[in-house]
Structure 1
Amino acid sequence: MTRVLLAGFGGLGGGQDHQRAMYLPAFQAHPGFTVAGAVGADDLGVPSYPDLNTALAESDAEVVSVCLPPGERARAIVAALRAGRHVLADKPLALTAEDTEAVAAAAAESGTVCMPAHHQRFAPALRSARTALASGRVGLPWNVQADFLVAGGDPCPLGELTNLGVYPVDVVLALTGLPVRRVHARAGDGVTLLLLDHDRALTSAIAVGRITGTADVRPGGLAVHRYRISGSNGVMNVDATKPGATLRTAAGVRTAWTGPDTLARMLTELHAAITGGRPAEVGPADALAAIRVVEAARRSLDTGRPVSLSPEHSQEGRK
């Protein structure tokens, strides 16, 4: 099995710890991985290291799962890549395009796999939709409408656009394969609306944020995750939370699904890329394309005006 080092147990603030809540149990459940060590935790029953440099020198783990706070994340990813380790990195891969570019350069130089944890693109309904779009099911797409709304939970100190925005942006780019040329953002009532102009006259509108008052979804869970894709020959509606069954018990509300979830599917792709010696489906170029859109959205919110992306930047998602 592929050995994994868990590096860091922090996030974007507000007590966020995706390492313990998401990646650790996903690695433990996956037949292709085993957790072999941790940096920043001594209660997991695996070797513990005081810092990443020591771990990289002493551990024989092939993969580093990076969940450090954002100010430390990019440097840690680069260090792991330069040490010849494969990397799974919590989203966002970095907070700025500049830092993301540094990660992409290190990944290219090392020849190892660097996967940003854009796991939402691995939802079964979205996989089917991507295949259907590629086969021309709705003709040439001209518009995508998307809603990515989380129910309650702790707000992110850096804002939900930074925290959640890369997910639906990455999905839209993966579905269409068309880079973004211009971004116009508007905000209100906890939701940010991204109005995007893509190549080939495609437009998309993405609503992303955190909402309250959703009694039928567990706090912090997805309230809405859906896409409406209009094309020259028809319309495709995709609910990324389905198939699934909503269960209401005394302990709360949750969605049950009998197949592998998005995290398990993402780890299967990571394992296949590592063992097959090939790039992963999602890599630093995808993270860079998404963060450029998020950065442009922040500038648009500050100025109240659309922000254009230069052609060389808008092509990065195709690499």
Structure 2
Amino acid sequence: MIRLAVAGAAHGHVRYALDEADRRAGIELVALSEPHRDDRERWTPPGVPSYADHAEMLQAHTPDVVAVCGVYGERADVVVEALHAGAHVIADKPLCTELEDLGRIAAAAATTGRHVSLMLEKRWYPATLAARRLVEDGVLGTLALISSTGPHQLRRRTRPPWFFRRDGYGDLLGDLPVHDVDLVLALTGATGGTVTGVAPRRPFADAPEFCDSGALVMTAGEVTATIEAHWLWPDASAVTAPYRMRLTGTEGVADIDWWTGEVSVRTDTPDAWRPSTPAGLRPAEQALTALAAGIAPEVATAESLAASRVALLAARSAHSGSRPLNWSLPAETPSAPRLP
């Protein structure tokens, strides 16, 4: 039995953790904390104790796992306190909004021996699992280029005020590209490279800190990856998130369309590889299954820190004239396990 607590419910992704508690007999939702009353009342299930203060919740319930889904700029403190309270952490992205906070989280995880796992749902889509298999099977030869696009609907009138402030939201490039940065790292196995961020557009006079579009370019070993991210997708569109990624190798090209769930492959040999579509996983499913078994999640602390660090470096680059910044993983960082 896992005693799960939720710390922060400022974003709808909190449902990732709540869904697991609803679906699985081995997970008990023991409490939820959220400082804003409306969000607290909206997301607290009947019969579950709720708190305005996450510290009070941690002291009262000593959970095994804490799901952190609060205001972005406040997440680092909650993650660190949850780790020191003896809990593992599963978290919505972004894990934090500052590189300095990422360092505090890394130190707390190392000191406590607890895991930090980002709920990176793109990892578990069937199309992603199929694409990772084709790369591992060598169908595309040696990867050379990766490009992705991450359109999002802003729906500005529905967003809370903190979303448009630097101390609440952080930076565009520190947020939206984290999923795709994680996939670049998983697909390439790279341990170092450079990252450059560009994010000049700040369109709102009443929210001068908010940027609605940008891109990053990262080298990952010998692979060059470009990741576009923006809040410009039309609000009226029935297609809410047409995410796509192209993998270009020395022997073929694969296009991943996460909206349709399709993976199309083109090689010099017709019908050389037909992509299968394995069953996917829910965003928090793999991490909680692993933690219940007493093992590290596939997206464990090292992977969570790595994707977050590259994205935050891209944001820093964008604020410093788009100069390239070096990134590297610690020598002891374990690689993610191969898919079964």
TM-score, length-scaled by structure 1: 0.80
Q: 1:47 to 1:99 in 2, by over 3 A?
A: same
2:143 counterpart letter in structure 1:
P
Once superposed, what is the RMSD of the aligned Cα atoms? 2.9
State the match for 1:304 in structure 2.
321
1:161 counterpart letter in structure 2:
L
CA deviation after TM superposition for structure 1 residue 24, in Å? 2.4
User: Distance in 2 between the 1:136 and 1:214 partners?
Assistant: 39
Structure 2 gaps of 5+ residues are: 35-39, 202-211, 263-277
Question: Which of these residues, 216, 224, 228, is aligned with residue 207 of structure 1?
Answer: 228
State the match for 2:95 in structure 1.
93
| Secondary structure, aligned partner of 2:284 | helix
2:30 counterpart letter in structure 1:
A
Question: Which of these residues, 182, 188, 196, is aligned with residue 194 of structure 2?
Answer: 182
CA deviation after TM superposition for structure 1 residue 78, in Å? 1.6
User: Distance in 1 between the 2:153 and 2:218 partners?
Assistant: 24
| Secondary structure, aligned partner of 1:170 | helix
1:248-277: per-residue Cα shift (whole Å, max 9, x none)? xxxxxxxxxxx9765x2x322112221221
Question: Which of these residues, 185, 189, 195, is aligned with residue 173 of structure 1?
Answer: 185
User: Distance in 2 between the 1:34 and 1:144 partners?
Assistant: 40
User: Distance in 2 between the 1:312 and 1:80 partners?
Assistant: 24
State the match for 2:205 in structure 1.
none
Question: Which of these residues, 31, 42, 57, is aligned with residue 37 of structure 1?
Answer: 31
Q: 1:83 to 1:204 in 2, by over 3 A?
A: same
Q: Answer yes or no: is 1:225 the counterpart of 2:220.
A: no
User: Distance in 2 between the 1:82 and 1:260 partners?
Assistant: 36
Answer whether contact 2:185 2:220 (CA < 8 A) is retained. Answer: no
User: Distance in 2 between the 1:287 and 1:173 partners?
Assistant: 11
1:127 counterpart letter in structure 2:
L
CA deviation after TM superposition for structure 1 residue 302, in Å? 3.0
Q: 1:213 to 1:66 in 2, by over 3 A?
A: closer
Question: Which of these residues, 191, 199, 220, is aligned with residue 198 of structure 1?
Answer: 220
Higher mean displacement: 280-289 or 178-187: 178-187
Answer whether contact 2:184 2:220 (CA < 8 A) is retained. Answer: no
User: Distance in 2 between the 1:73 and 1:302 partners?
Assistant: 22
User: Distance in 1 between the 2:199 and 2:111 partners?
Assistant: 39
Q: 1:50 to 1:147 in 2, by over 3 A?
A: closer
Answer whether contact 2:74 2:96 (CA < 8 A) is retained. Answer: no
Question: Which of these residues, 256, 265, 268, is aligned with residue 285 of structure 2?
Answer: 268
| Secondary structure, aligned partner of 1:309 | strand
User: Distance in 1 between the 2:155 and 2:323 partners?
Assistant: 31
Answer whether contact 2:151 2:233 (CA < 8 A) is retained. Answer: no
State the match for 1:252 in structure 2.
none
Answer whether contact 1:289 1:313 (CA < 8 A) is retained. Answer: no
Structure 1 gaps of 5+ residues are: 11-15, 245-258
